[in-house]
Structure 1
Amino acid sequence: MRYIRAMQEEAAEKGKLQINVTNAEDSRPVSDAQISISYTGVPEQTLERVATDSSGQTEILELDAPPEEWSLNPENERQPYSEYTLDISAPGYEPVSIAGAEILANVKAIQNVRMRPSNTGREEEEVFVIPAHTLYGDYPPKIAEDEIKPVNESGEIVLSRVVVPEYIVVHNGSPRDSTANNYYVKYKDYIKNVASSEIYATWPSNTIRANVLAIMSFTLNRVYTEWYRNRGYDFTITSSTAFDHKWIPERNVYDTISVIVDELFASYLSRPNVRQPILTQYCDGRRVSCPNWMTQWGSKELGDQGMSPIEILRYFYGDDMYINTAEEISGIPSSWPGYNLEAGSSGSKVRQMQEQLNVIADAYPALPKLTADGIYGPATEEAVREFQSVFGLPATGIVDYPTWYKISEIYVGVSRIAELT
């Protein structure tokens, strides 16, 4: 009871939480999953019980959170988020427990849960414990590396152009830890996870953009130079802060970060006459200092001053840094047409999008079926709006760049298994 009283005294504000549950094998939603929520540390006292709908989603819950100011002030030493434990069960699936879901004031936390079908009849619970946020916990600082890698050494395999991968392989430990597991993670999900682990989602949007660009450029440098594979490892990147970024299995992400990653995911940082993405390293700027690198708290201060993402990045990395766009995005049926599809649009791109939405609607019955006639009428606009609301995008009814690629991503996810079987 003392723990709960202390939590309630500190919880001056509210944060939001939505839980999305899908089948780990075929990416389809799991409806009627039962979820109980408790304070981490008091698992026996349930605060809320909720169930998922036909889209595998819960309603948006309001939960107690510490004052937002705690996540905005670098001098604050109190934990700026509250921690909750989620216990998820569904018939035919192995139950999942996630301890330490982090709720910040005034932003929506998104907890994606992938449940494994129970093929054995034995229901063995999968348990995930989310460690402290890197700005609050104690993690080893980044070991400095050259930001541009030599690529003419004998035996170096490098890509001829910058490609955004569909998946990357994350080694959940330091490079030489052979006991650590490797995880296949969708690229965008990886970036959202790292950004949610390394900055606070309450920060200014341009600060979030600058940090997301730095995380993506660093990651794409690892992809482009095949950094670890050239050293005999079978992964793309690690979850060690000493070598790479903090990535945490099954941690929640935040809506303020998610929409920015969806908007920027094909971008990276360049210097003139350098083909590879720049290995943009950074530190927190409070416990650790790092001259010539971005500091996270420093980037927050510049965002408060109204600086744009590129102004923030150039402040730390120099004036010759610029934002570039990858030439290719892997794992999608076709590229963004280069213009928005909206009411009045017509043609093959509209038909393709309608056909993909119909395949998605087979898995997500809340989405309406369409006549795939290549004409963007009111029914298509409404279906797009419904899709956007289910998948966390602004519900405009317009297929813009983030929506096009989100439709592609979900379409590939739900149709791939069907093709294989």
Structure 2
Amino acid sequence: MRNYVYPAQTQTQSLGKLLVRVNSEANLRPIEDATIQITRTGDPTSIIEEIRTNSIGQTETIELPAPPLDYSLEPDSSMPYSEYTLQISAPGFEDMTVSGSQILPTVTAVQESQLLPITADPTSSELFVISPHTLYYEYPPKIAEPEIKDVSNFDIVLDQVVVPEYVVVHDGPPTDNSAKNHYVLYRDYIKNVASSEIYATWPEATIQANVLAIMSFTLNRVYTEWYRNKGYSFTITSSTAFDHKWIAERNIFENISLVVDSIFNNFLSRPNVRQPILTQYCDGVRVQCPNWMT
């Protein structure tokens, strides 16, 4: 395991932005007048900001300290983002705590949260701990696969590539029967993965290239029904050894979201091959991957 250097958040040299949206999980309606208390992760007693949602369930955009921009633009052992804990509450709903929301300098992080209506226990609450970014933490490396899958023995339902409305994400390795399956809008899945695997501070063309690779990989899993043809009941996993890193309740970044919305129905392919390419990539520093994207 690497020895990571955590820059002191009180001595940061840049500012990032945060916008919070709060909806009801029961009917997806915006929750007005929800309260969000923001603390530094690791110091939950010192509230540094308290904001509220408006009539459309959205807060104002606020600025928060973040590490220097250079940390996210070149390989470095210093953590390039700050981590904050959001304590979200609203009358008639269970409290929610999101620990580890990531703030990068110069860009806007968007935290979308859905609160559960209070039922039997009025003191219950939900806690979500956001895993570290894949470019900062050492997750299991991708197991190499052919970019064009042999589906001669598969039952392929689709006669052409179709962008799905939803994907079913298995939050763990394929064989982990205890892992939860999440039904996630396709675009939201891509935005989550991109925010987990690349930095939103990168140039727009670089973000577009990585998003295109993520979408092609995902659509290969969708088109080939890779896991369903192996007897599983999901589309893709959150394990970096098999697929991409997806993190429940993590924040996304506004500029990554705009890129995904602009190219969401695109993918990479080969001449005379119907399925999208299984576009695998690695960071080229901690993990070397000859003939892959780096």
Give the alignment of 1:305-320 within 5 angstroms.
none
Q: Which has the higher contact order (CA 8 A, sep 6+)?
A: 2
| Correspondence 1:7 to 2:6 | no
Aligned to 1:269: 268
SS for the counterpart of 1:49 is strand
Aligned to 2:92: 92
- Cα distance in 2 between the residues matched to 1:119 and 1:272: 55
Deviation at 1:203, TM superposition (A): 0.3
TM (norm. structure 2) is 0.96
1:283–1:294 Cα contact (<8 Å) kept: yes
1:101–1:130 Cα contact (<8 Å) kept: yes
SS for the counterpart of 1:140 is coil
**Structure 2: which 5+ residue stretches go unaligned?**
1-6
Which residue identity is paired with 2:147? Answer: E
Aligned to 1:113: 113
| Correspondence 1:101 to 2:128 | no
1:36–1:46 Cα contact (<8 Å) kept: yes
- Cα distance in 2 between the residues matched to 1:107 and 1:123: 35
Deviation at 1:122, TM superposition (A): 2.6
Aligned to 2:25: 24
Aligned to 1:366: none
Which structure: larger Rg?
1
Aligned to 1:229: 228
Deviation at 1:246, TM superposition (A): 0.2
1:107–1:254 Cα contact (<8 Å) kept: yes
SS for the counterpart of 2:88 is strand
Which residue identity is paired with 2:282? Answer: C
Aligned to 1:190: 189
| Correspondence 1:280 to 2:279 | yes
Which residue identity is paired with 1:6? Answer: A
1:192–1:253 Cα contact (<8 Å) kept: yes
- Cα distance in 2 between the residues matched to 1:161 and 1:115: 38
Which residue identity is paired with 2:251? Answer: N
Give a deviation string over 1:38-68, Cα, whole Å, max 9, x none.
0000011100111100010000010000001
Higher mean alpha-carbon deviation, 14-23 vs 110-119, is at 110-119
Deviation at 1:151, TM superposition (A): 2.3
**Structure 1: which 5+ residue stretches go unaligned?**
296-421
SS for the counterpart of 2:118 is coil
Deviation at 1:94, TM superposition (A): 1.2
Moved over 6 A (4+): none
- Cα distance in 1 between the residues matched to 2:269 and 2:201: 28
- Cα distance in 2 between the residues matched to 1:206 and 1:123: 47
Deviation at 1:121, TM superposition (A): 4.6
Aligned to 1:386: none
Deviation at 1:218, TM superposition (A): 0.4
Aligned to 2:161: 162
Aligned to 2:38: 37
Deviation at 1:234, TM superposition (A): 0.6
- Cα distance in 1 between the residues matched to 2:115 and 2:158: 35
Aligned to 1:335: none
Aligned to 2:4: none
Which residue identity is paired with 1:176? Answer: T
Deviation at 1:159, TM superposition (A): 1.3
Identity of aligned residues (%): 61
Give a deviation string over 1:76-135, Cα, whole Å, max 9, x none.
110000000000011111111000000000000000001111222534111000111000
Which residue identity is paired with 1:289? Answer: Q
- Cα distance in 1 between the residues matched to 2:213 and 2:74: 22
Deviation at 1:174, TM superposition (A): 0.4
1:151–1:158 Cα contact (<8 Å) kept: no
| Correspondence 1:66 to 2:67 | yes
SS for the counterpart of 1:269 is coil
TM (norm. structure 1) is 0.67
Deviation at 1:156, TM superposition (A): 2.4
SS for the counterpart of 1:246 is coil
- Cα distance in 2 between the residues matched to 1:105 and 1:160: 44
| Correspondence 1:202 to 2:204 | no
Higher mean alpha-carbon deviation, 254-263 vs 20-29, is at 20-29
1:21–1:57 Cα contact (<8 Å) kept: yes
1:174–1:239 Cα contact (<8 Å) kept: yes
Give a deviation string over 1:320-360, Cα, whole Å, max 9, x none.
xxxxxxxxxxxxxxxxxxxxxxxxxxxxxxxxxxxxxxxxx
Deviation at 1:149, TM superposition (A): 1.2
1:170–1:237 Cα contact (<8 Å) kept: yes
